[in-house]
Amino acid sequence: MALALREARAAAERGETPVGAVILDPKTGEVIAVAGNGPIAAHDPTAHAEIAAMRLAAARLENYRLTDLTLVVTLEPCAMCAGAISHARIGRVVWGADDPKGGAVVHGPKFFAQPTCHWRPETTGGVMAQESADLLRGFFRARRKAKSGA
């Protein structure tokens, strides 16, 4: 999670929402891919950290199936990312901060619990949750302050 937080901080420095993701092989501990949020710079609404990390991992492994790998992300995945996680057949998802407004694992649609979900990873939330939440809160606080001219 520390590596994902580093990527989230880098995303914030680029003006992106501070979310970072890491894909690793739990058997070897090898980091397969690391990415931060990038929708603004990429002009791509799908360029969430999780999607970017999965794209990098799939290209590196030359396989769109990421079975048995672990995705570590600083924020509970949204519905779009949860769908991609399911399609990639990620084995485990670990996240930091819960997202009551936009999350889709334990909030909102609870994507992996839906009967139409064809692949359900193991899930663990709340890992370094305070650090992840503080980073997001600080980022948006600074944006509101800059917008108000304070």
Which residues lie below 8 Å from residue 131, measured CB to CB, with a gap of 6+? 1, 5, 96
Is 78 annotated as contributing to ligand binding? yes
* Residues with catalytic roles: 50
AA identity, residue 111: F
Element (H, E) at 92: strand 92-97
How many whole angstroms separate alpha carbon 66 and alpha carbon 57? 8
Given a contact cutoff of 8 angstroms between Cβ atoms, the answer to whether 111 and 105 are in contact is yes
Element (H, E) at 117: none
CB atoms within 10 A of CB 123: 17
Is 117 annotated as contributing to ligand binding? no
CA distances from 22 to 34, 71, 72, 73, 82 (A): 4, 6, 5, 6, 15
Q: Residues marked as binding for Zn(2+)?
A: 48, 78, 81
Q: Residues marked as binding?
A: 48, 78, 81
